[in-house]
Chains A and B, each alone.
Chain A
Amino acid sequence: MGAGDALLAIENLSVSLPGDQGPRRVLRGLDLEVERGQTYGIVGESGSGKSITALAVMGLLPDRARVEGRVLFDGHDLAQADERAMCRIRGNRIGMVFQEPMTALNPAHAIGRQIAESVILHEGASRKTARARALDLLDLAGIPDPASRIDDYPHQLSGGQRQRVVIAIALACRPDLLIADEPTTALDVTVQAQILELLTDLTERLGMSLILISHDLGVVASLCQRTAVLYAGRLVEEGPTAALLARHAHPYTAGLMAARPRLTARAGERLTAIRGTLPDPESVPAGCIFAARCPYVIDDCRAAEPALHEAGDGGHVARCIRLEAVA
């Protein structure tokens, strides 16, 4: 991983939430770096720790959560920052786009006002300037004829348009980093493509970094320069997206790729699935976290948890001792 120019560096980040039988470690020893202007994908299934990572960066984890490790944003450790300092960073330097545009907007306020609020809050702009900026932002987010929509309420917009408004709010103060947590999951397929295009386009035009969180390897593959694959709160593979797709070194990534539906499949052919289920975070087995579901498993896998092994160029790494066998 290229050091020096990292905008966001997550170092050995662990998160525990209280559970019935003691704390559940939902994220374990995560390391990753996002450079300025980079598009970074985080992939994993439900419960893999993707959203927890996003919330940890934003400092929005529940109060009960225990956080260890460091979240270095532009040199400052956000994990240690107090609430007051975080309020200045959230929405100002880091923007966030949510999965559910239907509920991420306040139903009681017009959308223009919700966008303008951010500008007023972080930049001390006057109402008039803020409204003008809200118009620009709606236009930037691809809302047609923004002047006629700025006083609309969220319920008057479609899902795709609402997501554009959510993006406009996230971009209101020109953040350095945009975190999009499953931004297209709740949308129609055609709208999904538009929103993803908008996100990459904006990232380039505004020179932001983008962290795109998704369960869809395809979405991440088409947009992101680097990709991290999480499994049960553990980073299992990380590297340049192209390298990762060319050679999915970890058996889990390989399984994800094989599980994608193909257009060339014959009618009646069954979809490939990864057998088994995610391990319970309260009783994570010793050894490799994927061992119970892995087709390549050998006795050594269960003995000790593997370290990250180099799997290719550009810092492509995978947490597996059987890289040769998988390839």
Chain B
Amino acid sequence: MSELAASPAAPRRRRRLSLRPNLVIGTCLIALMIAAALLSLVWTPTPLGTMDMMSRLAGPSAAHWLGADHFGRDVLTLLLVGARNSLGIAFAAVLLGGAVGVFLGLFAAARRGWAEEVIMRFADFAFAFPAVLAAIIVTALLGVGSTTTVIAIAVANVPVFIRLSRATGVDIWSRDFILAARSAGRGPLHITVRHVLPNASGVLLVQATTQLALAIVIEAGLSYLGLGLQPPAPSWGKMLNDAQTHMGSQPLLAIFPGLAIAIAVLGFNLLGDGLRDLLDPRLRRTR
């Protein structure tokens, strides 16, 4: 019955967290990444900016656990600080893009009519640009830097969230309890905040994890292209870029940041899958 689908609160309250492998593994991977980022605030193997010229392009050793790059910088240090930068930018970008997109999408769902048309055609237009291309355009307009990178990735996120929240919103607006809320004298703003948003939050949350994974890839891509963070701030994408030149002499330099990106993306995707299963009873039953 529709009753099941309409009770996002039900599984949370009634069921214990049964061990869904993708949810557990995803959570662990993301927790590991966040822990690494937090750790870099208080401790790194060597202070950031230290260049040990004797160990240039060295492989793993007791002094440099994951080796050192072409400036003799400790790779583990760069990875830890890079985690902070990459995750921070990804979270900020998805939060910003998501907030704007959800606002516009839910506004469109509540107002319908010409306002919806304008917003959705804008979303179509923005959607037509590949995410990386959109990010490059913004970077070109605003210049390079971490704020620009955040805005660039956020812009790429906006149309995704507009479409999803508008579609989910329109569906929720057609439910009986919205009519009941209207018959109780609630205005569209109140209904959107109190009735539509809580019932759309599950879907939006799952989408956000996917977008976080994508944001990390875009950030790495922008940094790789030299459009992201600027030296000396480390990021995984920039490490890849630097490693490219020295692929012949020290291939490990490319492996470690690549691995970090892969783990973060995998973690967010697994987390998103797990959350979707957890929040959507229909999907859980068909498994």
Q: Is A118 an interface residue (CB 8 A)?
A: yes
B109 to chain A, nearest CB (A): 14
Given contacts A103-B6, A108-B8, contact A60 B179 (CB under 8 A): yes
Question: Is there a chain B Cβ closer than 8 Å to A66's Cβ?
Answer: no
Tell me if A88 is interfacial: C-beta within 8 Å of chain B: yes
Task: Tell yes or no: B249 within 8 A of A by CB.
Answer: no
Q: B180 near A98 (CB under 8 angstroms)? A: yes
Q: Considering the chains assembled together, what is the distance between the CA atoms of A60 and B195 in angstroms?
A: 17
Q: With the chains together, A104 CA to B180 CA distance in Å?
A: 6
For chain A residues 91-144, which have a beta carbon within 8 Å of chain B?
91-92, 95-96, 98, 100, 102-109, 117-118, 121-122
Question: B197 → chain A, closest Cβ, in Å?
Answer: 9
The residue among B13, B175, B181 with the most chain A CB atoms within 10 A of its own CB is B181
| B175: chain A residues within 8 A (beta carbon) | 103
Contact call A107/B9, Cβ cutoff below 8 A: yes
CB distance from A172 to the nearest CB of B (A): 8
Asked if A260 is an interface residue, CB under 8 A from chain B, the answer is no
> Which residues on B sit within 8 Å (CB–CB) of A319?
none
Q: Decide: A98 and B179 in contact? CB cutoff 8 A.
A: yes
In the complex, per-residue mask of A130-160: 1 if CB is within 8 Å of any chain B CB, else 0: 0000000000000000000000011100000
Residue numbers in B under 8 Å from A90 (CB-CB): 182-185
Contacts of B112 in A (CB 8 A): 63
Interface string of B165-176 (1 = CB under 8 A from A): 000000000011
Q: Does A8 contact B (CB under 8 A)?
A: no
Cross-chain contact B186 with A121 (CB below 8 angstroms): yes
B10 with A107: CB separation less than 8 A:
yes
Question: Would you call A26 an interface residue if the criterion is a C-beta within 8 Å of the partner chain's C-beta atoms?
Answer: no
B180 and A108 contacting across the interface, CB-CB below 8 Å:
no
Residues of B within 8 A of A58 (CB): 182-183
The residue in chain B whose Cβ has the minimal distance to the Cβ of A156 is B13
- Across the interface, do B9 and A100 meet the contact criterion of CB distance under 8 Å? no
Main secondary structure of the interface of B (DSSP, over half): helix
A54-89 contact mask (Cβ, 8 Å, vs B): 1 or 0: 000010100100000000000000000001101111
Known A103-B177, A107-B10; contact A88-B195, beta-carbon cutoff 8 A: no
Q: Take A103-B2, A104-B177, A117-B194 as given contacts and tell me if A89 and B185 are in contact as well, using a CB distance cutoff of 8 Å.
A: yes
Bound-state Cα–Cα, A153 to B13, Å: 10
Residue of A nearest to B179 (CB): A60
A169–B180 CB distance below 8 A: yes
Interface size class of B (residues with CB under 8 A): 20 to 34
Distance (Å) between the CB of A61 and the closest chain B CB? 11
Given contacts A60-B179, A60-B183, A121-B185, contact A108 B198 (CB under 8 A): yes
Minimal Cβ-Cβ distance residue in A for B200: A108
Q: Which residues of A are found within 8 Å of B180, using beta-carbon distances?
A: 96, 98, 104-105, 166, 169
Task: Judge whether B185 and A91 touch: CB under 8 Å.
Answer: yes
- Residues of chain B from 94 to 153 with CB closer than 8 A to chain A in the complex: 112-113
B187 interface residue (CB < 8 Å to A): yes
Measured CB to CB, the nearest residue on chain B to A93 is B185
Q: How far is the CB of A89 from chain B (nearest CB, A)?
A: 7
User: Which residue from chain B places its CB closest to the CB of A90 in the assembled complex?
Assistant: B185
Query: Closest CB of chain B to A126's CB: distance in Å?
Result: 18
The one of A84, A98, A121, A155 in contact with B10, judged by C-beta atoms closer than 8 angstroms, is A155
Q: Does B244 reach chain A (CB closer than 8 Å)?
A: no
**A222 to B270, alpha carbons, bound, how many Å?**
59
B185:A122 contact, CB within 8 angstroms = yes
Known A104-B177, A153-B9: A87·B186 in contact at CB below 8 Å = yes
> Contacts A153-B9, A155-B7, A155-B10 given: A105-B186 contact, CB under 8 Å?
no
* Listed A/B pairs (28) with beta-carbon separation below 8 Å: A63-B112, A83-B187, A84-B187, A87-B186, A90-B182, A90-B184, A91-B186, A96-B180, A98-B180, A103-B2, A103-B3, A104-B180, A105-B177, A105-B180, A106-B177, A107-B8, A108-B8, A108-B199, A109-B194, A109-B198, A117-B186, A118-B184, A118-B185, A153-B13, A155-B10, A169-B180, A169-B184, A170-B183
5 closest A-B pairs by beta carbon, nearest first, are A91-B184, A91-B185, A90-B185, A103-B176, A108-B198
Binding site for B on A (CB under 8 A): 58, 60, 63, 83-84, 86-92, 95-96, 98, 100, 102-109, 117-118, 121-122, 153-155, 166, 169-170, 172
